[in-house]
């Protein structure tokens, strides 16, 4: 990567957190996009210095677009959209549609994500084999992380606006939800 990095964004998806870096040569029009340090798009000579570049992120091929707008003759503004929404709006919506827990066991780090709409469970970028069952108070989704038995419970909060409350239990111990 060269010294022309003009934008850096962190995007949390179910299968991981991705660092997106954008390089823009304002004299050559060069555009390079890196995801987690790996080059995914390169355009070396562009006569038009403004515009947009679209690409996909993660194993779910989430669509992302970087827009380049001129503010003055020599300064530019760079914005990232994910799934057609501003990054801020996407992340706000994502926090309503998923729950994330960060776990450390036996020296290993785990990032566990529940997609509330599909009830898919992800751990460190891999979709987990999970078994769901209904209970008297809601539901339980069981899966294993290494030798650890995990269970995500969903129970009614008792308040209409709050909806369901999701909790992660690992080997019977409740894990605090992460804020990403």
What is the per-residue pLDDT across 117-131, written as a single tens digit (0 to 9) for each? Answer: 888 999 999 999 999
Percent of the residues in the chain that have a pLDDT greater than 90, as a whole number: 71
With b meaning 16 or more CB within 10 Å and e meaning fewer, what string describes 140-173?
bbebebeeeebbbbbeeeeeeeeeeebbbebeee
Nearest by Cα to 61 from 25, 14, 99: 14
d(CA 169, CA 174): 4
CATH number 3.20.20.370 given to 5-83:
no
Overall pTM surpassing 0.85 (yes/no): no
pLDDT value of residue 1: 53
**End-to-end Cα, the chain, rounded Å:** 26
Mean pLDDT score across all residues of the chain? 91
d(CA 65, CA 54): 4
Mean of the pLDDT values across residues 42-69? 91
pLDDT value of residue 160: 73
Domain 98-175: give its CATH architecture: Beta Barrel (2.40)
Are 120 and 131 within 8 A, CB to CB? no
Helices in 15-110 by DSSP H: which ranges?
87-97
Could you give the residue range(s) of every CATH 2.40.128.180 domain in the chain? 5-83, 98-175
């Amino acid at each position: 990567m060269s010294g022309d990095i003009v934008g850096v964004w962190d995007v949390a998806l179910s299968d991981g957190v991705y660092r997106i870096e954008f390089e823009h040569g304002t004299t050559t029009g060069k555009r390079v996009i890196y995801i987690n340090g790996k080059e995914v798009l390169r355009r070396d000579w562009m006569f038009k210095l403004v515009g947009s570049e679209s690409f996909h992120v993660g194993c779910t091929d989430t669509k992302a677009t970087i827009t380049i707008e001129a503010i003055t003759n020599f300064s530019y503004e760079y914005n990232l959209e994910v799934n057609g929404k501003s990054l801020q709006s996407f992340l706000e919506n994502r926090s309503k549609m998923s729950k994330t827990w960060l776990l450390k066991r036996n020296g290993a780090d785990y990032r566990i994500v529940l997609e509330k709409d599909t009830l898919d469970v992800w751990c460190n970028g891999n979709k987990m084999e999970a078994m769901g069952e209904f209970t008297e108070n809601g539901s339980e989704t069981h899966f294993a992380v290494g030798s650890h038995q995990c269970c995500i419970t969903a129970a009614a909060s008792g308040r209409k606006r709050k909806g369901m409350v999701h909790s992660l239990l690992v080997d019977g111990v409740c894990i605090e939800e992460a804020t990403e």
